[in-house]
Chains A and B, each alone.
Chain A
Amino acid sequence: MNKLISAWGMNAEIQWVIFIIFCILVTSSIAWFILVRVKPSKLATELQVRTRSWWVMCACFIVTTLVHPVVTLLGLMYLSYALLREMYPLLNLDARERNVVLVCYAAVPIQYGLAYFGMKTLFLAFIPVFMFVFIPFMLVVRGETKGIVRSISLMPYSLIAWVYGMSHLALLFQLPELQGFTAGPQGLLLYLIFLVGMNDVLQFAWGKTLGKRPVLPTVSPNKTWEGLIGGVLSITLIAVAMRFLTPLNIWQAAITGFVTAVAGFMGDAIASGIKRDIGIKNSGHAIPGHGGYLDRLDGFSAAAAPFFHLIYLFCYH
């Protein structure tokens, strides 16, 4: 068995994090199973559905992370693509803007390709510099200027929000090896997934149990100060406890956890604002109990770039 695991390139740290995720999922599955039997309620059933979806999501994340770096990259690329695809129908684009949407889709493989080939400066400049000129130009070229300001702002923004941030996780695989750090980019990726996932869960849990004062009443009434503070503090502690996946020391891990949790909350709040403006609750039906890709990955894609830059600053600078 040990031989098999080492042939898969799984080291002790990654085995530990998989074990921890497995324990959390089993515990919550059993807890909701009992809760539904003992005290059936809408919330209990929803929690059960959500936990079932977490099982699937965790399995997908862990498998794509561990199989091969190229598979990880393709998986992240597909997530970016799915996020864009879920965002565009909400924007009420007109028939002519369809072609520009194709340009936005085409930017996804280019951005991830730059990450794969390690072209770091072009990677950092491609979307915020080049696509921010090219997409507005393509919008102008089609000859229709009515409502163009809206499209000029929205379409490049969608690339920043769902492609640029996420693609930093593919760049983790380009970081040079550190001495004494064995978990590797897979470990860092699982660390971030774990932190952001737990951030969503814990903010929800703290908010449901203690939440009274809404933090953004007009945007998202379910987010409370209690949930936010409880979530951020717990994630800071979890980040310190799980730092065996990273090359960070205690203080660096605490800062990374804190920033990840706050950035995750920010991404969540931005997505809530967008959805509220459009007048929908969820952006899609891809993940039962959670909504669409956008509902689940909003925090993740907002936290990805800050996470990458903190790791880079602390360990590689």
Chain B
Amino acid sequence: MKKSEKREANTSGHLPVAASWRRRTMLIFLYKFFWRAILGVVIGLRYLGVKKEQHDGPVIYIANHNSHLDAIAMMTVVPRHRLHLTHSVAAQDFFGNSFFRKWSMENLVNAVLISRKRGDQEVDPIEFLDGLLQAGRSLILFPEGTRGVPGSMGDFKRGVGHLASRHPGIPVIPIYLDGLYRNLPKGRAMIVPFGGNLIMGDPLVFSNEDLNEITARTQEAIEKMAQDLSDSNQI
């Protein structure tokens, strides 16, 4: 497993190399203790429906996206032994333009940066993410592609559809993030605690649906979770 990962990494030249034990320990400390405590105790994020037993292997986590805290909150629900194998997918044009941002994204968030525009890179972003899944890595994707309007969800881009249709065995886990955008809105640097909810849905497994159908179903799943949450709290 490890050997094949390394070989894969060397041939394409783009895959992040396997994490050292130091990095693994750091990621576990960072997400399973530090951020978990900050999110749980200070910010007051509630974890609903998070399963201890998750698919042991590559998984695609998808969520709605409104805040920089989103990727951090998603990392805290990834099983401990998969943490260093889980990459959030971030935008090259936003995070790649300063050294500090790029370094912290790649080292502290364990993210991979891709271009949002087609034809920018020599490797197609989808091919690149495809390679990561093949190498046994999990992905954290925000299919809206941008943080968008606070508190509302935009239409999903088709990247998830592409990836899930190429890898029929890999489960897609939908996560609905409610209220995190209040804690750290777009364009703000300071976190002000306002609470929020993280709801993990049942994994979606696709066999041979086409990519439009997959995209529609993933969006539906997250919209349904949002609807259920607000319905459950109606008078």
Contact = CB atoms under 8 A, between A and B. Distances in A.
Contacts of B192: 98-99, 101-102, 105
Interface string B141-179: 000000000000000000000000000000000000001
Contacts of A85: 44, 193-195
A113 interface: no
Interface in A67-113: 82, 85-86, 88-89, 95, 98-99, 101-102, 105
Contacts of B232: 281
B193 A105 contact: yes
Interface string A251-284: 0000000000000000000000001100111101
A105 B42 CA distance: 11
Contacts of A99: 192
Nearest to B48: A285
Given A89-B182, A98-B188, A279-B234, A284 B195 contact: yes
B194 A89 contact: yes
B11 interface: no
A215 to B, nearest CB: 17
A86, A275, A285 interface centre (most CB from chain B within 10 Å): A285
Given A89-B182, A101-B192, A82 B44 contact: yes
A279 B193 contact: no
B46 A280 contact: no
B233 interface: yes
A12 to B, nearest CB: 35
A102 B48 CA distance: 27
Nearest to B196: A89
A286 interface: yes
A98 B182 CA distance: 9
A276 B235 contact: yes
A99 B188 CA distance: 11
Interface residues of A, number: 20
Contacts of B235: 275-276, 279-281
B197 interface: yes
Contacts of B182: 89
Interface residues of B, number: 18
A95 B190 CA distance: 12
Interface string B40-69: 000010101000000000000000000000
Contacts of B48: 285
Contacts of A286: 44, 46
Contacts of A101: 192, 194
Interface in B187-229: 188, 190, 192-197
Nearest to A221: B235
Contacts of A88: 194
The interface centre, meaning the residue of B44, B48, B179, B195 with most chain A CB atoms within 10 A of its CB, is: B195
Contacts of B185: 95, 98
A282 B188 CA distance: 29
Contacts of B193: 85, 105
Contacts of B46: 284-286
A99 B232 CA distance: 31
* Interface core residue of A89, A276, A279, A280 (most chain B CB under 10 Å): A89
Interface in B75-91: none
B194 A95 contact: no
Nearest to B235: A281
Interface string A282-303: 1011100000000000000000
Nearest to A286: B46
A4 to B, nearest CB: 30
A286 B194 CA distance: 13
A311 B196 CA distance: 38
A281 B194 contact: no
Nearest to B186: A95
A161 B188 CA distance: 29
Interface in A121-152: none
A104 to B, nearest CB: 10
B233 A89 contact: no
A284 B188 CA distance: 25
A158 B165 CA distance: 51
B195 A281 contact: no
11 contacts: A85-B195, A89-B196, A98-B185, A101-B192, A279-B234, A280-B233, A281-B235, A282-B233, A284-B46, A284-B195, A285-B197
Give the 10 A-B residue pairs with the shortest CB-CB distance, closest first.
A89-B194, A98-B192, A285-B46, A280-B233, A281-B233, A85-B44, A281-B235, A85-B193, A85-B195, A89-B182
Given A101-B194, A281-B235, 17 more contacts: A82-B44, A89-B179, A89-B194, A89-B195, A89-B196, A98-B190, A99-B192, A102-B192, A105-B192, A279-B234, A280-B235, A281-B233, A281-B234, A284-B46, A285-B197, A286-B44, A286-B46
